[in-house]
Amino acid sequence: MRVSALLLAAFTASFIPLVHSTQASGHASNYSTWMALSIMYREQGVLASSTDVSALLQAGFTQKAFTRLMKQYPHANSTQAIAQYIARSVDSVVGPVGNALQDITYPMDRLSSGNGLIDQYVKTQNDADLTSLMALRESINLNTRNANGGMWYYVYKNFSYLDGMYSLAPFYTSYTTHFDAYNRSAIADMMLQLDLLWTHCTAPNDTGLLVHGYDASKTAVWADPVSGASPHVWGRSLGWYTMALIDTLELLPREVYPKEWALLLTRFSRLASAVSKAVDAYSGAWWQLLDQPGRSGNYIESSGSAMFVYSLFKGVRLGYLDNRRSGFTDVAARAYEYIVDTFVVNNGNGTLGYNGTVSVCSLNSTATYEYYVGQPINYNSVLGSAAFILASLEYESARSL
């Protein structure tokens, strides 16, 4: 249900002063808060109806970005409005994900609201929140798997995608530490999912990058006959996977799971180096297909680029990456500034737009070069603008040091 015109008018009236106060305070929170308020103005990241399940990833991603925003700026004028919006987004998914058998008919993206549900339940002890987050957890056990235990991303037979890991790994980890602390097999399974993708999706030519996904049965038209891997390194899917590693490192208790934690760190560091090396030297940001730099039709894509900026900065901030040797923050800052100059649109009326985000790329396709570069490019996709909020928060945090 769309918010009524009256409510929207009231919201707009309260929104513009929030933008002005963010800017007037000369605050470093400029773009992160401003983009969040713009997403709120557009009513994005909230399910429009109980059947709007294609928006589950947008909702979960918005919740994660907004939660992080509140953590970084707990005393901003906009904090209360942002908290209310997170609650609205979480409430909008509670019904739709409340049944595990229903949940397994959705892609793995369904799990992206899991962390928001946990946070809300810890605060409110609301039964409906608990029911839904337990249904999501149960749906992991019910998810169809390939012969090695790798979860299918969706209904496509034996296909696993990097994309699913951002929704799965941080939720699986946080659920286990909150509600099921002695269940080491849950953490082992979470690690297995990340591991199977890591070992099957190795990109050719020793770049250290990972391709979009693999088909365990190796029957897809695009599948590598040995590994089952798909042919190309798609920026946003690698962005999801990289963010999954860094966010899981932050959530997994290092003292309880030292070996698992160390393995995640090794892989995150390798990926951070590979991603830094794959940056486009001219723009400073990342291609839609990282393995085909400069090829005709390929372009710099705004969601994947923002995800890499976030991951590199965050890895350095948490002390997981050696910045002195590799200059990760220089790479990330340059990319961020390019993103601001190229993709952020000032509408001149208090709102910001975000351009250059590719729509869905699926492996239920030919997965050819032409397919990936031919997918439509969206304006104001939350998959780009929420990634931009996360990138901005890290940039702002690095700048304030």
Ligand X SMILES: *[C@@H]1O[C@H](CO)[C@@H](O)[C@H](O)[C@H]1NC(C)=O
**Which residues contribute to the site for ligand X (CB under 6 A)?**
12, 21, 23-27, 30, 75-77, 140-141, 144-147, 155, 158, 180, 183, 185-186, 189, 203-205, 216-217, 291, 345, 347, 349-351, 353, 355-356, 364, 379
Partners of residue 145 on adjacent β-strands: 151
Distance (Å, whole) CA 286 – CA 289: 8
Give 25 or 50: the residue with its C-beta nearer to ligand X: 25
| Closest CB 393 distance from ligand X, rounded Å | 15
Distance (Å, whole) CA 325 – CA 88: 44
Distance (Å, whole) CA 293 – CA 209: 13
| Closest CB 105 distance from ligand X, rounded Å | 11
In a 3-state reduction of DSSP, which class is residue 300?
strand
| Distances, alpha carbon 286 to alpha carbons 199, 259, 296, in Å | 23, 32, 15
Instruction: Identify the helix (H) or strand (E) that includes residue 32.
Output: helix 30-41
Partners of residue 346 on adjacent β-strands: 352
Give 326 or 355: the residue with its C-beta nearer to ligand X: 355
Give 106 or 315: the residue with its C-beta nearer to ligand X: 106
Q: Is 8 exposed, middle or buried (0-12, 13-18, 19+ CB in 10 A)?
A: middle
Give 185 or 400: the residue with its C-beta nearer to ligand X: 185
Closest CA relative to residue 384, chosen from 307, 332, 313: 307
Give 89 or 146: the residue with its C-beta nearer to ligand X: 146
| Closest CB 103 distance from ligand X, rounded Å | 15
Q: Is 157 exposed, middle or buried (0-12, 13-18, 19+ CB in 10 A)?
A: middle
The letter for the amino acid at 286 is W
| Closest CB 205 distance from ligand X, rounded Å | 4
| Closest CB 383 distance from ligand X, rounded Å | 15
| Closest CB 284 distance from ligand X, rounded Å | 17
Give 11 or 320: the residue with its C-beta nearer to ligand X: 11
Number of Cβ within 10 Å of residue 11's Cβ equals 15
Strand positions, DSSP E, 75-175? 159-161
Strand positions, DSSP E, 178-241? 213-215
| Distances, alpha carbon 145 to alpha carbons 56, 80, 152, 170, 193, in Å | 22, 42, 5, 19, 10
Give 148 or 266: the residue with its C-beta nearer to ligand X: 148
| Closest CB 324 distance from ligand X, rounded Å | 29
Number of Cβ within 10 Å of residue 318's Cβ equals 11
Give 84 or 105: the residue with its C-beta nearer to ligand X: 105
